[in-house]
Structure 1
Amino acid sequence: MSESVPVHCPACRREHVYSAPSYPCACGAPVTPCLDDAAEPTPVAHRAWDEDWVTVSCGACGRRDQWPQPELGCPCGAVLRVPVAGTGSAPPSDPEPRPAFRPVTIRTARDAVTAAALYLRWLGYRDIRRAGERPPSGIGLAARGLVAHVDPTVRPASRRDVECLWLTAMTEDSGCVYFSLAGYAEDARECAEALGIPLFVLDLTGAPQAVNPLADEMDAEGA
């Protein structure tokens, strides 16, 4: 269980008690960031991918990996980034057998991106980051040898959306995968089959559901 720390909102001066969420390491043990109760939280004014993630060590196996930066939403409207102790960058250790994927609940568009990123990490992809080329809609993610599109909108993904992802992947000489909250139009599914693109639907629990056989293969085989 994570330790609770006091968090002071600099905007409205409210005092909160905050506990960081836990995430599953590749070894199956829960990883919880150690919060720095001596440092002041900082308001989030602008989103930057590098600032949304923090490197944390697993207490069970010692593996160092990146997880979502702890944040607290204050009733006044401020979003506070809670400092983590002992952070730093280090290469991940050798991969271990995959445990069952543990999803994160999706409430916002950012949660959908986090769920997709965690799933890709569970599959074995590393160095997950924002894609260099911004897609026409949604959020682009990239890892070594892969580009991903996360569509958190309430409309089904179109054929054009799938084609744009494929063209981006061709430019990067990478594979690609599509995650959608609202599913896919029929012609989008047909296009994905023809172009070899795995399609997933993210349910509100944050668990990706394979839509086509290519996604089933990706889920089974990993990176």
Structure 2
Amino acid sequence: MSTKLGAIHTSNFTAAFRREINARDRSGLTARVQVLNPKSERQFGADACIIFENRTEFKIAFFEAKWPRLKTQVNAWDSVQKSTGGSHFHSQLVRQHPHAGYAAIWEMFYCEYQFHEQPRSFPVFGSACVWHQDAYAASLSRGIVTQPWEDSDLLSLLCSSGTDIRNIISQICECHAGRPLPKDKFGYKFPDGAAPHEALVITYDGDSIHKNRLFD
């Protein structure tokens, strides 16, 4: 995130998600925050990790969140990365890409407009989301990947590929995104051997799990 306030938005989102799940008091459905690797560094190019699990399998999902501040600033959400001299957002997409074979990855763009006043490319309620593969393809198609993204690039991407968080979570839980991985009694095994510092873990331990789905 480009600002501390943006990081607070992400923390608030995952905390609210956890509270909403636990408040529903559905049998077998719980959410908790769990430290996975205390020594891990930020190598995923993402702000938050969510693990969805049942009794035998789990899925890894993570997202990078941006606060474009379209209402108050112009082209302020991406920047030139000092270490590479290129777009910081593109570098994050590049770091995410090796994990796309097993993880469900998306980009989230917070919106400060009031409901029903957002730009047309944003959902009426809440933030806009884009699957990683769509954002990655769009970033490569820009030609000069070293140039920071502009607001017009983002709005164009959202118009063509934007969705909302409800659809993102539904696609993951209905096994349309991400790859189910076998649970290990000693912990979660990431296919590439890496693991983020912590994750929001959503567990369904009920009896009514459809075949080929993580959740009912």
TM-score (norm: length of structure 2): 0.29
Greater helix content: 2
Greater Rg, structure 1 or structure 2? 1
Q: TM-score, normalized by length of structure 1?
A: 0.28
Higher strand share: 1
